[in-house]
Amino acid sequence: MTSLDDLPLRPDLRGQTPYGAPQKIVPVALNVNENTHPIPEAVAHDIVAALAQAILTVNRYPDREFTELREGLARYLGHGLTADNIWAANGSNEVLQQVLQAFGGPGRTVLGFTPTYSMYPILAAGTGTEWIPGQRDADYELSPQTAAEWVQRTNPDLVFLCAPNNPTGTPLPLDTIEAVYNASTGIVVVDEAYAEFAPVGAPSALSLLPGRPRLLVSRTMSKAFAFAGARVGYLAADPAVTDALRLVRLPYHLSALTQAAANAALAHSAEMLAMVDEIRGQRDRLVAELTMLGYTPYRSWSNFVLFGGVTDPHSTFNALLEEGILIRDVGIPNHLRVTAGTEAETTAFLEAIARLDTPEAQ
């Protein structure tokens, strides 16, 4: 049987493993930061109707410029944005890949601050872009001084900033983003995949876009919109950036069905986002109750919580799995990460971990 070793694979891909969290069917899945609340039934019916209408035209290619979707995303984001500022693709991973295809590549570098989203170095490798792992401050925070020093030291062609950061959940101050932009001559990407879970009124990097043509703000409909299975990501930037991304996108990359579903969901953004407050509440509950149990959760502006003090993460992960509860071992020693689920799911996790593990002495 043929193996990878028998194929003329690119040398830099040899020995690599594909990205992927464990996929298991369990009663309580809290491992990949999905929105565990289903789409409201009335909204689902409208999405189905939009898909039914779109299916009648799939003998033709979809709108290559996904104009209606870009207009809808611009209205949703506000900040004076128009369709010319918006780009979208099949999940924010594809958006970031296209950014690297346009602005990265062989001989170019991208700086990120670890631990951070594990897809960044994978996307970099896939586009031949060198990944530079910068370091964070204590408690996984990132100050303007630390970030700017890394930029000045490494002179990257791109910088990826995760705000709030995954897998730590820690927020990113706007002055850190400004410091990175001012220190850099390249593209600065702020990945706001979890922005809707920040405290009400918290500022977004979208407010920094005017006058900064090298700044890109990436978003997704996967999390707050409970749309992970639909695969819709997008970014806001100077119109010149969207022109650059047209040079690397595949023809008709957003299907008619994807566009129809996303447009219908955006028309019901208030209903789709109604569960965000409840998720924030469960996230804060996780922080409070894990602290009472003796763990060290980090402050989180996302829909998940990273917590330290786990004596044996591998054993605890498996013990929870045996009880039908799936969380995430992100590879940080003595840490685990859990998604904020429904009240019942959060209760099940907290009750189980209270029985199964004794926090490591800090």
Q: Where are the domains of the chain?
A: 24-40+274-356, 41-268
CA distances (Å), origin 348, targets 25, 268, 327: 16, 31, 12
pLDDT at 358 (0 to 100) = 67
pLDDT value at residue 362: 43
Q: For residues 88 and 262, what is the distance between their CA atoms, to the nearest angstrom? A: 11
- Partners of 158 in the β-ladder: 110, 187
Q: What is the pLDDT along the chain (362 residues), one digit of tens a residue?
A: 688 888 998 888 888 888 777 777 889 999 999 999 989 999 999 999 999 999 999 999 999 999 999 999 999 999 999 999 999 999 999 999 999 999 999 999 999 999 999 999 999 999 999 999 999 999 999 999 999 999 999 999 999 999 999 999 999 999 999 999 999 999 999 999 999 999 999 999 999 999 999 999 999 999 999 999 999 999 999 999 999 999 999 999 999 999 999 999 999 999 988 899 999 999 999 999 999 999 999 999 999 999 999 999 999 999 999 999 999 999 999 999 999 999 999 999 999 999 986 676 44
Q: In the prediction, which pLDDT does 86 show?
A: 98
**Of 351, 219, 194, 353, whose CA–CA distance to 276 is shortest?**
194
CATH topology for 24-40+274-356 is: Aspartate Aminotransferase, domain 1 (3.90.1150)
Q: What confidence score (pLDDT) does residue 3 get?
A: 83
> What is the SS3 assignment for 141?
coil
Instruction: Report domain 41-268's class.
Output: alpha beta
Q: What is the largest CA-CA distance in the chain?
A: 63
For residue 13, the model assigns a pLDDT of 84
Residues 320 and 52: beta-carbon distance below 8 Å: no
